[in-house]
Amino acid sequence: DGGITQSPKYLFRKEGQNVTLSCEQNLNHDAMYWYRQDPGQGLRLIYYSQIVNDFQKGDIAEGYSVSREKKESFPLTVTSAQKNPTAFYLCASSTRDREGRETQYFGPGTRLLVL
Amino acid sequence: GENVEQHPSTLSVQEGDSAVIKCTYSDSASNYFPWYKQELGKRPQLIIDIRSNVGEKKDQRIAVTLNKTAKHFSLHITETQPEDSAVYFCAASIGGKLTGGGNKLTFGTGTQLKVEL
pLDDT in tens, B13-70: 999 999 999 999 999 989 889 999 999 889 999 999 998 888 999 999 999 999 999 9
Instruction: Give the mean pLDDT of B85-100.
Output: 78
Instruction: Give the mean pLDDT of B71-100.
Output: 87
Regarding predicted confidence, which is higher, A106 or A39? A106
Instruction: Give the mean pLDDT of B74-83.
Output: 97
| DSSP result, A53-78 | TEEEE-TT-TTEEE--SBTTB--EEE
Q: Which of A67-71, A92-96, B89-93 has the lowest mean pLDDT?
A: A92-96
| CB contact (8 A) between residue A95 and residue B108 | no
Q: Sheet containing A76-78: give its strands across.
A: A4-7, A19-25, A76-78, A64-66
3-state secondary structure chain B: CCCEEEECCEEEEECCCCEEEEEEECCCCCCEEEEEEECCCCCCEEEEEEECCCCEEEECCEEEEEECCCCEEEEEECCCCHHHCEEEEEEEECCCCCCCCCCCEEECCCEEEEEEC
- The predicted pLDDT at position B101 comes to 56
| CB contact (8 A) between residue B101 and residue A109 | no
User: Nearest-CA distance from B65 to chain A in Å?
Assistant: 17
Share of chain B above pLDDT 90, in %: 75
Residue A2 banded pLDDT, cuts 50, 70, 90: low
- The predicted pLDDT at position B96 comes to 54
Q: How many CB atoms within 10 Å of residue B72?
A: 16
| CB contact (8 A) between residue B100 and residue A96 | yes
Nearest CB partner across the interface for B100, out of A50, A101, A104: A50
User: Nearest-CA distance from B64 to chain A in Å?
Assistant: 16
Closest among B112, B107, B116 to B46, alpha carbons compared: B107
Q: Which of A20-24, A81-85, B4-8 has the lowest mean pLDDT?
A: A81-85
Helix (H, G, I), strand (E, B) or coil at A2: coil
